[in-house]
Amino acid sequence: MKYGCIAKRLGHSFSREIHARLGNPEYQLLELEESDLPAFFRKREFLGINVTIPYKQTVLPYLDRVSETAERIGAVNTIVNRNGILTGYNTDFGGMAAALKKLGVPVEGKKALVLGSGGTGRTADAVLRSLGASEVITVSRGGGSPAVSYREALERHSDASVLINATPCGMYPDLDAVPIEPERFPGLEGLFDAIFNPLSTELVLRARQRGVPALGGLYMLVAQAALASELFTGLPASRDDVERIFREVRAEKENLVLIGMPGCGKTTVGEEAAKRLGRPFLDLDRRIEQDVGMPVPNYIREKGEEAFRKVESDAVREVSRKTGLVIATGGGTVLRPDSVNRLRRNGCLFWLDRSVEAIRPTEDRPLSDSAEKLAALYRERLPVYRATADRRIPGDGTPEETAVRVAEEFTERKNK
């Protein structure tokens, strides 16, 4: 391996795609147990590597030199081999500083909490202090000076203005977890989560629901990768390159999620849009039918709508872990806030707004099998679709016309 990333687990990593876009197709991922590290560093058969959880501090004894920034922080995430001399750097510092700048929340003079005391937490502490934070409090499970426990953070530091999550809590595959409740900080002005998979953690989503600016870790990942790539190759990447790659990777990983009334054409439009975008298509109702062993209408008639919503929620939990899909949901999927949040973690929600006059009631939809039921359902759900959608797509045209518009608007997100 000439270039790559080492960690204990890398199934969640986007680093290979990012470095390929930075002009390094030789970049690889290598999972190592801690017991493998001595032999790996003794051989020194690499030119440049990144290091991530949980080895950012573990690798320090294997290095010949450490940059001033990395030494001050006490954590390394980039190692360069120059003629057999291993030098450690911390490009996370620059990556996180760039991410906080993109978030747009001033840190100077503000009280900040950092969740996690590991390598990323140390980096966050250093970045916040460099930006002029008036007070930086580290929060860890064990507490103990200089860190505080999570209970102490809530009791004594609920006045914090900035919150950074530097723990793996909420990272793939445990997507429902949150390290702390952002609602407990009434003066919160900005939140950054270093986790990049999912694209938006539950912590980020809950902050945004309160109107708090919040950003996931993908921008930091790209920015630090650009700095690491420069150390590897000597070729600098501009801020424009970072922005472009961030948008491209986000668009590649983000799911296109179709919501809307039963019979509005989500499956037909979704299949066509998926073809145009070159993406896999997943129909949530079909997935549920595989799980329960019967058609959805039969299940609703036999078990009731509430039982179906529970099964549907479980299916959403699994489907929402995936990336790069076009997903057609059921008409009532968005009725459960937990399902909406799960779909949003890796997805953008497109509402196919087809007028009720253009939707035909059918016997295979027990909740809308008559014109009266359909009209009542439309009135009930219209506010939910409006509140939930990230994009509204008029749906009264042909499925092909609607699919073209969906694909075009989704593609345009690369440039925003």
Tokens of 168: 């793996």
Distance between CA atoms of residues 340 and 343, nearest Å: 5
Collapsing DSSP to helix, strand or coil, 112 comes out as: strand
> Which residue, among 261, 267, 233, 229, has the nearest Cα to 245 in the 3D structure?
229
H or E stretch including 341? helix 337-345
Biggest CA pair distance of the chain: 78
Question: CB of 276 within 8 A of CB of 366?
Answer: no
- Which residues, listed in sequence order, are joined to residue 36 by a DSSP beta bridge? none
CB atoms within 10 A of CB 51: 24
- Which residues, listed in sequence order, are joined to residue 80 by a DSSP beta bridge? 48, 87
Q: What is the DSSP string of 282-340?
A: EEHHHHHHHHHTS-HHHHHHHH-HHHHHHHHHHHHHHHTT--S-EEEPPTTGGGSHHHH
Which residues have C-beta within 8 Å of that of residue 290, sequence separation ≥ 6? none
Distance between CA atoms of residues 260 and 331, nearest Å: 5
Catalytic residue among 56, 110, 253, 266: 56
Can 56 be counted among the known catalytic residues?
yes
H or E stretch including 4? strand 3-7
Distance between CA atoms of residues 332 and 259, nearest Å: 9
Which residues have C-beta within 8 Å of that of residue 93, sequence separation ≥ 6? 69, 73, 123, 126, 127
Distance between CA atoms of residues 116 and 407, nearest Å: 40
Active site residue ranges: 56
